[in-house]
Amino acid sequence: MDKATARDRILELRKELDEHNYRYYVLAEPVISDYDYDEMMKELISLEREYPGFLDASSPSQRVGSDISREFRQVRHRYPMLSLDNTYSREELVEFDKRIKKTVSGPFDYVCELKYDGVAVSLTYVDGLLQMAVTRGDGEQGDDVTSNVKTIRSVPLKLRGGDYPREFEIRGEILLPREGFTRLNRERKERGENLFANPRNAAAGTLKIQNSSIVARRPLDCIIYRVLGDSLPYNAHYENLAKAGEWGFKISEQTRKCKGLDDIFDFIDHWDKYRAELPFETDGVVVKLNDFRLHNQLGYTAKTPRWAIAYKFSAERAATRITSVEFQVGRTGAITPVANLEPVQLAGTTVRRASLHNEEQMRILDIHSGDTVFVEKGGDIIPKIIGVDKGRRDTRSHAIEFIDKCPACSTPLEKEAGEAKHYCPAINTCPPQILGRIEHFVSRRAMNINMAEATVRQLFEKGLIRDVGDLYSLDTEALMGLDRFARRSAEKLIQSIENSKSLPWHRILYALGIRYVGETVARKLASSFPSFDELMDASEDDLLSVDEVGERIASSVLDYLSRPGSIIIIKKLKNAGLKMEDRPGLPKNQDKKLEGKKFVISGTFGHHSRDQLKTLIEQNGGTNVSAVSSNVDFLIGGENAGPSKLKKAQELNIQVISEDEFSDMIK
């Protein structure tokens, strides 16, 4: 065969195989046998090996994967992959609908989709070709798993038709169908390997295998649920999904456009009843507004979109017996009672432990030693005890009492007014708290130091670290004294610790593990107090003026900063060269027009979402706060602005401005 003939045959085989992939994996309408398909694939692979100059990354042959192992690189998402608000209550769906109608005028449509129990992935296409596949990760960045995703036959390497945008992003759920999961576990059992607990774990584990030829042998599937980009064909979610189906993507047949709550509840009732008949696992329904313009109008909270919500189906439950109760100490000092159980199968996993949450919950449940209890998985994930079978209680059993001293350091426990949990106050001397804080500090979303929990424990038990500040005093020789550490692995860890020194102030503030200070609050505190010294000088009123900071958070921050042990840790971090301040340069074409000014935003607006207004305020040197007080300079009032905020602003003589007046201020 000459070169020209080989090229024509290769192109012909690729076209036919792409068509058969689409018919089999997307339409579920195969027109040739598996044998004929395999023979065509063998011929294509043989020709591409003989004529390597014709090899193409979008060839169907690339789905067989490679034996080369490689580490996953981190990729920042162009559009953050946010989570959804969850609910198990129909009443909360009604409230969600009411909130939408307060903001949105005129008729609108919802879209209902099944909530797939798999692994979220973002796919980027350029000129109709798959360029990159990235996992959700922490929502801001994820792992580049392109080589693995290319092996999934329902993910098109090359799009069909020609009316797709030049560049766009499309998101879906990678999952393992029930049939494939059963077959995979059967094969693993025959080989004497550990079985996967459930299809989701199997899909997640498969996607993280650093050898795509192994991934190619597992029957992963991908169902698309969102299209993103600047030049999409429609300004509506449902219509864009339908168009994506024409481009070759697998779209769920169950997705349905709904006019209102009656349609939504019909959809939920149907699939709650028949979900066991689906070929894949689902744990609920996602409800979204269809119109993209309403997405922009409603905007986002720090973590979730306001235009979507996830309704979770009722969890599976089982009965088993409590063998004992132990009390655990968390990194913030919170004491959590945990019941040890006789093993029981629940939602595809073996459950041996379940949280009892706190003393009040134990009292409500009336837990006795040896009780038979009912266990369910909240959201089909976290086991929890929801009741006791008192008819099977031994009359000689006794109620299990909550402890009054820390099980780790014997410090008397404390309980704040209005709090459900007890706490050990010895935050800088209680071993489990120290360990928990170090593990939190090195975690990916905090300082992103590549250190396993087992390594943290070894370092702590050998006395090499006593707090997070000591991490920056470690050297290669010290690490080589740990189990399973050679010079290369020790040097890599030291480099990871060194790299963390460049992270911004808000990440360090979050990493410190101050009770109630999560990622969002840490960002807002760091924005209002751009250095540790300024945070140290802040009064309670100063803290309360920060958006989303209430009395509980302010009290916790002040308590942390008042402890000598905390100041010692901060000094160690400063001396190690960490950036305990963050004064970023002004964005291009921006200046400090709003410097020193504090704003409250209330209502809805025609040209900006609330989040966009907050960003503009910060970009121009201003500060966002959530509550109207004498410290506030302006209230930006939109349609349906809160009456109480408007009244208080009037009482305090605070200027109320419109969206247009605000725009004039920053021109």
Q: Return the active site residues.
A: 115
Asked if residue 297 lies in contact with residue 604, where contact means CB atoms within 8 angstroms, the answer is yes
Nearest to 10 by CA among 48, 38, 42, 37: 48
Nearest to 121 by CA among 72, 188, 70: 72
Angle made by CA atoms 149, 123, 171, in degrees to the nearest 5: 110
Asked if residue 234 lies in contact with residue 164, where contact means CB atoms within 8 angstroms, the answer is no
Asked if residue 180 lies in contact with residue 206, where contact means CB atoms within 8 angstroms, the answer is no
Cβ neighbours around 412 below 10 Å, total: 11
Distance separating alpha carbons of residues 211 and 67, to the nearest angstrom: 6
DSSP 348-407: TEEEEEEE--SHHHHHHHT-BTT-EEEEEEETTTEEEEEEE-GGG--TT--BPPPPSB-T
Checking DSSP bridges between strand 141-143 and strand 119-126, what pairing results, if any?
unpaired
Cβ neighbours around 157 below 10 Å, total: 22
What residues are paired with 405 via a beta bridge? Answer: 412
For the stretch 481-491, what's the b/e string if a residue is b when 16 or more beta carbons lie within 10 angstroms of its beta carbon?
Answer: ebeebeeebbe
Give the count of alpha carbons within 13 A of 449, CB side only: 27
C-alpha of 185 from chain center: 28
Tokens matching residue 376: 């369910």
Distance separating alpha carbons of residues 303 and 85, to the nearest angstrom: 9
Distance separating alpha carbons of residues 103 and 640, to the nearest angstrom: 8
C-alpha of 654 from chain center: 39
Distance separating alpha carbons of residues 466 and 110, to the nearest angstrom: 53
CA distances (Å), origin 169, targets 122, 228, 287, 576? 7, 5, 21, 41
Distance separating alpha carbons of residues 337 and 328, to the nearest angstrom: 6
Helix 199-207 and helix 178-190, axial crossing angle in degrees, nearest 10 = 70
Nearest to 514 by CA among 440, 447, 571: 440
Torsion angle defined by CA atoms of residues 559, 564, 570 and 571, in that order, rounded to the nearest 10 degrees: 160
What residues are paired with 624 via a beta bridge? Answer: 599
Tokens matching residue 19: 């068509």
Asked if residue 274 lies in contact with residue 292, where contact means CB atoms within 8 angstroms, the answer is no
Helix, strand or coil, per DSSP, at residue 114: strand
Rounded to a whole number of angstroms, the distance between the first and last alpha carbons of the chain is 69
Would you say the C-alpha torsion 454, 455, 461, 467 has a positive or negative sign? Answer: negative
